[in-house]
Each structure stands twice: as structure tokens, then as C-alpha cells.
Amino acid sequence: MSLMIKNARSLVQAADPVASRVAGTDMSSLPVIEDGWLYCEGDTIKSYGPMSGFPGDTDADEVIDASGRFVLPAWCDSHTHIVYAGSREREYMDKIRGLSYEEIAKRGGGILNSAKLLRETSEEDLYQQSLKRANEIIGFGTGAVEIKSGYGLDTPSELKMLRVIKRIGETTPLDVKATFLGAHAVPAEYAGNRKGYVDLIINEMIPAVADEGLADFIDVFCDRGFFTVEDTERILTSASDWGLPAKLHANELDFSGGIQTGVKYKALSVDHLEFTGDEEIELLLNSGTMPTLLPGAAFFLGMVDPPARKMIDSGLPLALATDYNPGSSPQGDMKLIMSLGCIRLRMLPAEVINAVTINSAYAMGLSSSHGSITPGKRANIIITKEIPSYEYLPYAYGSHLIERVILQGRIVV
């Protein structure tokens, strides 16, 4: 199947060749082709250019006239937890009444609440619940997604989650990366024995996950009240023996040492980063680790925002992701995340578009195949409604502006 998109107002983030990530002042510029065409064959982008050199569309199986519309690469959401059971709106009310995220967790709520429900949910039911969220984010224009385990917290339930993640990748047009997050919280049966649970992760869970080939990455919630730097180092050392690179939850609740640990273990990304100081920025500058911010979580929990402006002005790259999960960010619209990036983190529209395309592709190991309109990359494309500029996307923060979504070369929305 071949597809020609013609008369686009602009192709945004279209470049060949393209860098694997953009940092510092480069984040505020975007390669744009005005009045463009784009041709895809099978699941791959073949060619593009300005309409002045239009090659014609008689050979294409499908033709879309994108007059007045903007064409972009589909969003890459590099941090989600969309495989979960049920929801947690009761805790939402507890939060409104004044309890903090940590207080709720200490009472056995939070992640443990979701773990209890997930253990009781069949694999088929979990798949059906999660499939709805997968289809929902496709409608928002997401084409590649990282999904974490971490609501099972015992070996069979973690494997159940990871099998559901794999099935989402097989049965939807999303490109899916799976992350094993056994170290999301200490389960109730190990209360007071965190070391025992870390032993279980190392001795039983990681080998089982790796044997079934169910994960691309390993993650640890390295933060105050959850897992320490020492726990994290033990888990990452073992995971690296099994060939699992790290993506860490770090510095959401405190200066946890998570960023330092991520850089030391060459993590692909460190995520959250509300507590980031000069020392952390310096280390990240000299690393291949992508700092990833999740503004939906700080917004939803009413917590402090990370120093995004300072990070970019220091020369760092940034990725943005939804963190779609039942506890701290129960929504998966990357466009709303872009708006939060602009409004709360003072990032410019071009910076947030780089952060949800090429840089978030990098944060999930996909920057050679995703995150830009580049010949040879995956034909994952968004066509907007008629809008005046690409800056309008984060500006009109409550409007649904995605008209068409093309994933793996097929029109899916």
C-alpha cells in the first residue's frame, strides 16, 4: 500500500539526515517544509519535498489532500503505565481533601492498591482494559509507546502484565517497548523487608522476564520512601548481566541520587526529575542519558515542577512523556503534555515538539526509526485539522486538533 499526502501547509520535523536527539538552543528550532508533499510505501516513509517539485500522485493507492493542515511525525510517548486494572478516583478525592501522594502510599494505597486489583484480574480482562487505553492514545496521535510493568509485584503477576504489553504491540498499530518495573513499590507481603523483595527481583523476576524475552528495559522507582540508590545499583547490575538497559524513575520526591545512578549505569533515560540541581545537570550534560520530564504528574499531584528552562539553557536535551497511569497522571494525551510543557515548564512550542518526537524516540531507543519525517523511518504520521500554525497545537490546550493518524503506513484515524 502506498500513500501520498499533498498540499500540506507545512511538514514539521522533516529532515534528512536527522540528529538522534536535539539539545540546548537547538531545541527551539524545527526543520519545516512549507507547502509540502510526503510519500509513504508499506510501513516506511519514502520521500518528501515542496509542492513545487511534486512528483504526481497517480501511482499512489491512497491520496490525502492536506490543504491548510500540518503534517508531523506521530508522537512518541516514552514513559507510560497504560497496562493497569481499574482506576483510583477515591485517592483523587483523598488528595483533594489534603493527603499527599506519599501519605496515601504509606497507608497501603497508591501503587499497592493497583497491585491488589491487578493480581485479581485475569490476563484477558487486563488486556481488554488496556487495549481501550492503547486505542485512546492512537486517537491522540501517539505512534510509539513505552509501557511499564510494576503493578504485579510478584513473579506471575509481573509476567502477566508483560505478556499483555507484548500483546498490545502485536494487536495494535502502535510500536511498543516494554519495561520491567518490578521495583515500583515493596508489595504488602514484603512490608519491612525491602531487601528480601529486591532479592526476589534479582533472583527470580529478572531471569524469568529475560527468559521469556518480555522486556526491552529495566526500571526502578529510585526515590524517597521507595527504593534506595543501593537497591537500584543491585538491580541495575543484575539487569545488565541479562542485557536490559535502564530507564529510571528518579528525583520525583527528593534529591534521591537517582539521576547520579542512572548516569553511572548509562541509563537510556531518567524520568520525572522534579528535584534537579547543578550537580545533576552537570552529570547529565556529560552523558547519553535523556532527561525526561512528566509534567502531567506534577500537575495532577500539585507538586513542584522540574527546572526545565534551566536544564535547556544549560545545554541539555529534554523529552516529555505522559506517564499515563492510574495514580499520578491518569491521561494519555501528548498534546496536553505539550501544553503543560509550555505553560508550566516555560518551554517554547518548538521545544515541546522536539521533546515529544525525536527526543522521546531517543528515550525509548527508537530515534533511528521514529520521531521525525525522514525517508527510511516508520510511516507514523499525524495530520492536524485546519490550524493557523504549529504553535497553535500547544496553545489551544483543550482542543482536539488531530484529524488523521497514519501508523505503520496505514490510515488508522
CA distance 12 to 72: 5
Cell numbers representing residue 62 in the block:
491512497
Member of 36, 109, 110, 409 binding ligand NIG (CB under 6 A)? 110
Min dist CB 274 to ligand NIG, Å, is 10
Structural contact between residues 215 and 209, judged by C-beta atoms closer than 8 angstroms: yes
For Fe ion, the binding residues in 41-100 under the rule CB under 5 A are none
Q: Which of 13, 78, 114, 172 binds ligand NIG (CB under 6 A)?
A: 114
Q: Which does 91 bind (CB under 5 to 8 A by kind): Fe ion, ligand NIG, none?
A: none
77, 175, 219, 252: which one contacts ligand NIG (CB under 6 A)? 252
Distance CA 209, CA 311 (A): 35
* AA letter at 81: H
Q: Show the site string, 299-328: x = touches ligand NIG by CB under 6 A, - = not.
A: ------------------------x-xxxx
State the nearest-atom distance from the C-beta of 326 to ligand NIG, in Å: 5
Count residues binding Fe ion (CB under 5 A).
1
Q: Does 82 bind ligand NIG (CB under 6 A)?
A: no
Grid cell 544549560 — which residue? 314
Helix (H) or strand (E) holding 312: helix 308-313
Closer CB to ligand NIG, 294 or 312, in the complex? 294
Burial 298-310 (b: 16+ CB within 10 A, else e): bbbbeeebbbbee
Taking CB within 5 to 8 Å according to partner kind, which of Fe ion, ligand NIG, none is near residue 110? ligand NIG
* Euclidean distance between the first and the last CA atom of the chain, given in angstroms as a whole number: 16
374's contact among ligand NIG, Fe ion, none, with CB below 5 to 8 A by partner kind, is: none
Rounded to whole angstroms, the Cα distance separating 327 from 65 reads 41
Please tell me whether residue 146 binds Fe ion under the rule CB under 5 A.
no
| Closest listed residue to residue 107, CA positions, set 90, 119, 121 | 90
Say which entry of ligand NIG, Fe ion, none residue 252 contacts (CB below 5 to 8 A, set by partner kind): ligand NIG
DSSP three-state, residue 191: coil
221 binds ligand NIG (CB under 6 A): yes
Contact range with ligand NIG by CB under 6 A, out of 53-61, 106-114, 127-135, 405-413: 106-114
Provide the 8-state DSSP code for 226: S
111 or 137: whose CB is closer to ligand NIG?
111
* 249 forms part of the interface with ligand NIG (CB under 6 A): yes
Question: Taking the alpha carbons of 12, 17, 19, 20 in that order, is the dihedral positive or negative?
Answer: positive
Q: Which residue is nearest to ligand NIG (CB)?
A: 327
111 touches ligand NIG (CB under 6 A): yes
Residue 276 interacting partner from ligand NIG, Fe ion, none (CB closer than 5 to 8 Å by kind): none
**70, 38 Cβ separation under 8 angstroms:** no
Q: Between 91 and 323, whose beta carbon lies closer to Fe ion?
A: 323
Q: Give me the residue label for grid cell 513499590.
A: 185
The Cα 9–Cα 19 span in angstroms is 24
Rounded to 5°, the CA angle 106-110-114 comes to: 135
**Pairwise CA distance, residues 328 & 330, whole Å:** 6
322 binds, among ligand NIG, Fe ion, none (CB under 5 to 8 A by kind): none
Measured from the CB atom, the residue of 196 and 302 that comes closer to Fe ion is 302
Q: Mind giving me the DSSP string for 269-299?
A: EEEE-SS--HHHHHHHHTSS-EEEE-HHHHH
- 182 or 327: CB nearest ligand NIG: 327
Residues 299-338 touching Fe ion, rule: CB under 5 A, are 323
Contact (Cβ atoms closer than 8 angstroms) between residue 208 and residue 155: yes
CA–CA gap between residue 120 and residue 107 (Å, rounded): 20
- Pick from Fe ion, ligand NIG, none: which does 21 bind, CB < 5 to 8 A by kind? none
CA distance 313 to 180: 33
Binding segment toward ligand NIG, per CB under 6 A, in 109-117, 139-147, 162-170, 372-380: 109-117
Minimum CB distance to Fe ion smaller for 280 or for 323: 323
Choose among ligand NIG, Fe ion, none what residue 341 binds, the Cβ cut-off being 5 to 8 Å by kind.
none
C-alpha pair distances (Å), 31 with each of 2, 18, 387: 24, 10, 18
180 binds ligand NIG (CB under 6 A): no
* Contact footprint for Fe ion (CB under 5 A): 323
* Contact footprint for ligand NIG (CB under 6 A): 110-111, 114, 221, 249, 252, 297, 323, 325-328
